[in-house]
Structure 1
Amino acid sequence: MKRSLLLSCLILNFVCVNAQKENNNWAFGINQGLSFNTVPPSIVSTSTNTHMPSPCAVSDSMGNLLFYTDGERIWNRNHSIMPNGNDIIKGRTDAMCMQDSTDAMDVNIIPDPGNKQRYYVVGSVGNWVYDGVSQCEQFTDVRYSIVDMSLNSGLGDVLPGNKNTVLYSHVYGNIATGEGMCNKWVLLTNAASDILAFEITPAGISMPRISSLSLPAFCINELKTSNDNSKLAVGTNWLTGQKSYLHLYDFNALTGAVTNKRPIDTAGINSKGTSDELFGFAFSNDNSKFYYRAEFGEAQAIWQVDLSQKSHSAVLASKTKVCNITKWMHSWDMMLGPDGKIYSAFRDGGDWLVISRPNRPGTACDARIQKLNIPLTIATYSLIGFQNWIPTSKAHYKYDDFAACSAPLPLSSKQPFADSYVWSTGATTRDITITEAGTYWVRAMQSCGAYRVDTFNIAFKPVQPPVDTFSCNGEPINIPMQPGAIYTWGSNGGSVITQTGTYTVAITVPGCGTINSSFRAIVYPPAGTQLLPDDTIICNAQLKADISSRYEMGDYLWSNGKTTRSITVASPGKYWVKSNTPCGLFTDTVDASYCKPIVKNIDMPTTICQGSCVDIHAEVENFPKAFNWSFPNGATVGNVWDENKSVRVCFDSLGNSQISLIVGNFGTYSDVFAKKFSVRPKPVVQYEELTIKAAYKKMVLLPACGDADTISWYRDKELICANCKELEIEAKLWHTNYRCVIQNGECKDTCDYTIEVVDIPTDIWMPTAFTPNGDGKNDLFRPMHDNPNIQVLSLSVYNRQGVRLYHSPNDGNLGWNGRYGNNEQGLATYFWLLRYKVLGRPDILTMKGDVILLR
């Protein structure tokens, strides 16, 4: 068989306490069952010998087995078949099926609301088809028989007139059951994906209430109702080329209506062309969480969604993988046990999936694969379609004891359709609000006499954030963790703290919300630990230093009276600190001193002119604060004071001397530097400017303009003679400037001479022939002269026809090469015209003549 045959009987339920133990015995496939009368549950023997996927058993209110069935036979508590217990659900075969399909697929035991000794045994006939790739139950009959426990001396028997009765035909073979307080429900699906809800009352079974699931005509794979009768989970089967879907609906246990379709998950098409699987559902016992198995490709996992969220989008966003399945699950289905845990089994014996705290969100539900010491050795598909839950009336129920975060706390009866309510407080509404811890119960009653009692054991335990704490001797601090709470630490924190600091944590308690908290943790060092840094040298512009305890001690007293972890010192000396802590008294001392100031240089000229004022600057290191300048030889000093690295000094007395500087830091260290210098008289010029006229190429002797140690001469800022008392020049250029610099050390003065040349000649010599043959001699025809005052303006050359063969402005490339364009000119006489001027004269001069070109 395929997994679509492994369908469980689905009954709305609470966690049964007190004496209500009708579900304490589970029956499985071949000769095996499970008893919840022990903790942990234990394996028991049965007489089942079948491959049926959904055996079912019922016990009395004390947990004593009454009977069990595989859908074809019914065994009493002595494991014997009841007198009429054979063929209780037997039906047709289907020509499309590839094997005998008369087996019962799904079987359910439902107490008769009108007779506490009678039970309906409802089951489907197993007609299914398998095409080699996918499978689906085909349309089948759902039939029922009635067991009366008052017969056969209390061992029970099947009523002959109420055996194998057809409830409905042409429906899928999976069945879900639900219950109100005075009625029960049998839920079937048809080809149109409708829900057919059959109500069972003391009067019998009514015609179905039909609700549309608003789904395509899929093969419905699984149905399961929630424990509070309010929801219905519907899964579609895996078919070739189609996806599988999981939806949630609202179920009204009073009317049987199924409404409000909501998607939960979708499985796509795998590489085989069939759908991945969504199979095996379970609601938590408080109905706030929904679990399902999903198989995507080769990966299997258990997922949880939180149905307590306020919107469906939030429900979908809460989807959390709570367990990876790394081995093959045999039953695929999941079932809520009487102990409030959810169970599912694997093919090989001993391994079970157990969700120990299904009411808690996310991985706090504690879903894991466990060894329950309950070996299931059946290697066939008869292993488990899990035990179906037996609905009971007039039973006491409770939810898990829980701790509320704070008062007030709303409580609500889990029976939404009761006619009346009575609380232990005397209230008669479905909902109340409490402000004190304690045990509360509510009785929900129907006019038929049925009632339910929900019990709530409430303890107000608010979230306890960590408090300020400490440890001694450098020991790590273990932060107490509140059971069931989720701690999200800041970037520097965790449950084990090794360093002093302020730590932040967000603490989430399921159902209570999240608080953000911060606390201080101090890890005190071992006794005798050095608190302060090594002795300190203060060396900065402020001559201050921060001294800090290496450890956060919480309590400080410094020698200067400060009580902070760090102090700022501005003078040398010894400083101590004391810290009185829960771990004892800690003390330590540090010596603070200044670094030695250094004078590297005194920046000033070594020769100073008498009467001059000079800016003198000290180049220092290590931030001296005191400057003591000494200026001899009658120097006058203005604005000299401490912390002044620069001064301006005027010198009046001639001679050699020195300046000295002493620097210090408030008397602790000092350094001395001296700079020698000479004060010289400033030379005096006899005149500042002089113009001399001289004939062309006449020699002129220029005298110094004053007496000094050094006399230098410059022509147009170019040094032409150093240490020259006088300067002899040739008067050649029309106009030339000379400067004489007289100098005593750094003391100097200047005078300027201007030479103007007169009687400058105007003659230029022009060649009468030239040979432009490329031998480097006489290759160009051009004017010849050595007069720097002549400036040629242009030269033009003409042939006898008057064609100008050459014209050259004064561009520095003067001269004719005997060509006209790219053509060489032949042997001939050519005529020329020259235009030029002479510096110092305003007119333009011209010359003309002829020249012979020879080759």
Structure 2
Amino acid sequence: MLKGIFFIPYFFLLSTSFLIAQPKKWAANWYFGYNAGISFSNGAPQPLSGGVISTWEGCANISDNEGNLLFYTDGSTIRNKKHLVMPGAVDLGGHSSTTQSSTIVPLPEENNIYYVFSIDFSGGEKTLQYAIVDMQLNEGLGGLVSKNNVLLTNSSEGLTVIKHCNSIDYWILANELGTNSFKAFKLTNEGLNRKFVESKIGARKGPAGHLKASPNGQKIAVALFSDSFELFDFNPNTGVLSNPMLIRHPEFHPTYGLEFSADNRYLYMAGTLVDGKQIYQFDLTAGSASAVLQSKTSIGKIADSYFGALQLGPDNKIYVAINGHNHLAVINNPNLKGTECGFVRDGVSLGGKKSGIGLPNFISAPFNVQPRVFISRTIGKTCKDITLKADIAPNVGNWHYQWFLDGKPIQKATQTSLALTQYGSYQVIINEIGSCHNDTISSEELDVEFLNANPEFTIANCNNVLLKANANAPFQWVGNDIPSEQESQDTLTIAGYGVQTYRLKMFYSDNTSCFVQKELRVVFPPTQSYKLEKNSLVSCDTVTLNAPISPNWDTYRWKLLDNSTVSAHKITVRQSGQYIVFVENKQTQCVTKDTVNVIIHQSPTIKNNESFCLSAATLELQAGANDESLMYDWAPNPSKNASLVVDKAGSYHVRVTTPQGCSSSRSINVVELQKVTLGSNITLCEGDPIELSPTITNAPNPVSYRWSSGENARTIKPTKSGTYTLTTRQSVCETVDSVKVIIHPLPQIKANETVCLDKEIEAGGLDKDLTYHWLHSAETTPVITISALGVYKVKITNSLGCTATRTISINAYCPPHVYAPDAFTPNGDGINDVFSLFVASGQPVCLDIYNRWGQLIKRNENESPGWDGQVDGTLSPEGSYPYVFRYKIRNDNSIHEYRGVVILQR
């Protein structure tokens, strides 16, 4: 049984008692295939340009600890970070058609020396040899120290590097072609030990296929370039292989690419060449060889090419070469089972470059991070059962757990979780099972305390007691008369009566839904009583609570229904319920209380005051509250109904009362509808005066006006035809009337003018169907003849009856002007048969016609002289005839002449 509570906030406590190894970035840059490359320098892989490597299969790359490229090789030639051939670094024995043609290993505890291992394919014989590079040479671009140092003749194409148990040295592991012999060479800070450790185990090895080690260095996988591959245990301390396991299936031909997941649990295998169309996942924890084979899951397929190498990247994803493709395939989550591992065929673009079937060959997991262990906590359903759990990140490998309490191991506490039974300081220490390392990883110590609150009370004074929580966890007091602002105080004073029980609820600081609680039985001392005048009140809507003032008490405080308080002896409330008044004597510090039960009935809900228009003979008014239980009282027209019919304007009132006697009232103003008329339609001529003004009756209140033309005045003066509508409003009454106004246009005439005296003047009308009236002579023709100077006026009327007056002023005599044609045709057709002349502002005297020899042949002395082309009844021949036209000017008897020539044509 728990005695208290766990009081540590819920967050992860990370270990600081060991150093976390930061990953080296040796594998940050990859150059492979046909000038292809990718970089992990910024996290996600991005295409690299500039690489000049061109190889179908194996290659190797190395970068420094910060991820800066140092050099790379196809096994035959080494190129520096500028992609230039390192001096002398050619013919190193590698070959473009070797599975793992090369690998690069730094000399332990040395920053500048690197061993470059390669497998020679010349002449059909494969030889494992090495070269040594010193990065201090050639101004930091690196140079060869030695090359073509033979380690193993008749080598297969598999080559891998495993970290030694001491975490410093390396094993270079190869297998002998056609035999079951594995040879492990140890590289230390003193150099390469050419004396190998041999393990003769498993099947005979074919020429091609990858040789791979698991990230923890405890498993070896070998592709046999057939229908099978092998698994072995590897001892990183001794370099010895053991426990062979042959995995065979007819679908596998030919096995080629291999890679382990970062957590060492799964192995991925791909075939190659025309038959290598699938990638398989195997669960290495399944047990026997048959169980591992049974776990086989196809996680990726290809139809248009075939797979090649598989390589674990710095991001713990596995990248897959596809022959001739400009993308690498990716297994995004290799630690997940089956197809959940997330195979993507075109996972990483190579920026237009193409892959072969090889990828760079790296040291087994050079980017691994040393695991961290931390403790998490869970709380059970009872809120009293607490479990600690050891979490490891990253969780790769099998672990042994040992829990400690106050520095001492807890017996049988070797699981990932620990159920707590007592307080103290807890720690977990883990060791990897099967690891060659003896290092232990410890969590931070976690103090766990089961807390027991011991609430108590003491008598203070009067009827006050002092509550004390005595708790060392977050808590809340629960009980009568504890103010909300004091419920988290460790000590507080409260007043009460008799015996009451208080509870102390204690919470987890991060999980307030879980709590434990203790009860405290409090016995209050007796005190002087205080009584209200009434302990029950009934009212409508509100009630005023009045605490009578007494000389025994000097402070009054009311507790409201929401537990808030108001310091006053008189308050107004609006809700039914129980209200408590606390009274206090500050000198004696005595506090007592009394209670009043309040019942508040609500007055009926009623509409606001309104106004209506009496637009008909009668109007029905509604009380504005509907309930069968309500009672109604109307005035001045008495009625007990919910509605009232009225027939005249006035102010009406209604009171609505509930069965409990609560009432509400409202007033209704009835306004008589005003009468508005604009009269008959109006027809007039343009320019005639017009004014529209309504006649309004039954309008005791001010009236507002709104014309359809936009004006708001009572009277308007229209200027164009149309229907004019007036809307009037007084109070709530609104009425509308319209009148049609037709304004006819005046006749269109010429403007007034001043001219000289001529024979005729025109009235100047421009429209059709006009009538005329000359004022000086009553003539009705559009043109009249005049003979004197003066002012002449004419009224011009159109068909609509509208009249306009035009004035023509004659203020001078016009100079004479003779109008004479140039030719005439006296052929009897009625057109231009007579040669005649007209003199404006003058009077003809005579017309003389001459022949071409100057003889007078015709004289005409009448008022309208002319010639018909005959002389004494005889037709004159065609030709030109000179003439002399004599005329007088008005008011002048002198004779004037006008000479010319007219052509006679027939």
TM-score by length of 2: 0.39
TM-score (norm 1): 0.41
